[in-house]
Amino acid sequence: MPTISFASSKGGAGKSTSAVLLATELAERGTTVTIIDADPNQPVSRWSKKPGVPNGLTVVANATEETLIDSIDEAAQKTAFVIIDLEGTANIMVAQAMSRSDLVIIPTKGSELDAIEAVKVIKFVARQEKAYQKKIPFSVLFTQTNPAVRPRTLKSLESDMLLQGIPLFDVAIHERDAYRAIFSYGGSLSGLNTSAVGGIPAATGNAKKFVAEVVALLKKQQSAEEARVA
């Protein structure tokens, strides 16, 4: 079953938000999902203690260097998707998760400083590929973007990364109050109160496009692997 890691060396990049959006949208499709919270701050675990967690979604808290691999393998046997919210430090636990990942998603905000941090994660992925002697697919996800305007700085960063051969998501996770609200109130976008939180339909549409692109990437990789084996 697909294992997806979210990795960022910089706090506030939208790592946990993106992981929860992916997990909740998949679970609400009727798919079973496990999120492993390997972030010392435990943002996903705190979210999971609030009401409204979708059926079929399991959260494994307090993952450690000693337990992570077993947690990943056990979750992969029980659920269709395994999602890992990693800590920001490049360490053994992050390396372990990447070695088990079918896709590493690297969230970053659209600034030069954030992009530099994203490149650090990409270089770390490359080192793990050498260490484990396996290809580790990854893609950069721009987050907290303006849904109405794409600044020149963001366009420039996208162009620079593409010129370097860095894979990017076509979709970006926009800046939306609804995304913050799910961590405040719990649950998923579909469970938010429209009278208390604005912009839910737009946020939901954005999240669904993100999930669709993740699923498409995984299917493309599976097809390529099957063709290679054949």
Q: Quick one: tokens of 104?
A: 């590493």
Residue 121 has pLDDT above 80, yes or no: yes
Q: How confident is the model at residue 123 (pLDDT cuts 50, 70, 90)?
A: very high
Q: Report the share of the chain in percent with pLDDT over 70.
A: 100
Mean pLDDT of 156-176: 94
Q: Are 93 and 68 in contact (CB under 8 A)?
A: yes
- pLDDT at 225 > cutoff 80: no
pTM: 0.95
Contact assessment for residue 24 and residue 71, using Cβ atoms and an 8 Å cutoff: no
Q: In this structure, what are the phi and psi dihedrals at residue 61, rounded to the nearest 5 degrees?
A: -95, 165
Q: What is the pLDDT of residues 67-76, one digit of tens each?
A: 999 999 999 9
> Confidence class of residue 161 from pLDDT cuts 50, 70 and 90?
very high
> Residue 148: which pLDDT band, with cuts at 50, 70 and 90?
confident
Give residue-wise pLDDT tens across range 104-116: 999 999 888 999 9
Q: What percent of the chain has pLDDT over 90?
A: 83
Tokens linked to 58:
């399991």
H or E, element range at 143: strand 138-145
Is residue 40 pLDDT above 80, yes or no? yes
Per CATH, the architecture of 3-229 is what? 3-Layer(aba) Sandwich (3.40)
Secondary structure element (H or E) that encloses residue 46, with its range: helix 43-48
Tokens 């269709």: give the residue. Answer: 80
pLDDT attached to residue 39: 92
